[in-house]
Amino acid sequence: MFSHVIVGVTDLERSKRFYDALLGTLGVPPGVANKGTRYFYRSPTGLFGITLPINGEPATHGNGSTIGFAVQSPEQADAFHAAGVANGGTTCEDPPGYREGPAGPLYLAYLRDPDGNKLCAMFRPPKA
């Protein structure tokens, strides 16, 4: 459904270190520079980018927004979360773990990047 997601950041190199570590846990290669003001992370299923705002205004995070990343296991979600926290992110919501929802259990790991953007690693176990 989505072709790409891009978030605004205040410190491009700090954010690159954060996302290189975070997305590296998903097998995504380090960000590739573009125009000196952004980095793009490419995977077979889409593109994620970080950028200094083009309009020169301050970067802000969306209140109520979450960017979800699909992971292959609870262990990968935990690695994603740990890499994020170790590289300047902050944990938020409940600790990583299973939550029961209308569609069945999900393993979720929430954190915020250094600019406050809310991220989630989500593992959906196969239906029995």
Angle ∠(56,112,59) on CA atoms, nearest 5: 5
β-sheet bridge partners, residue 46: 43
In tens, the pLDDT along 65-102 reads 999 999 999 999 999 999 999 999 999 989 999 999 88
pLDDT of residue 6: 95
Name the E strands within the chain.
4-8, 32-34, 38-43, 46-51, 67-70, 90-91, 97-101, 104-112, 118-123
β-sheet bridge partners, residue 5: 48
pLDDT higher than 90, residue 37: yes
Cα–Cα distance between 18 and 83 in angstroms, integer?
8
Q: What is the mean pLDDT of the chain?
A: 94
Question: Is this structure's pTM higher than 0.95?
Answer: no
Name the E strands within 9-103.
32-34, 38-43, 46-51, 67-70, 90-91, 97-101
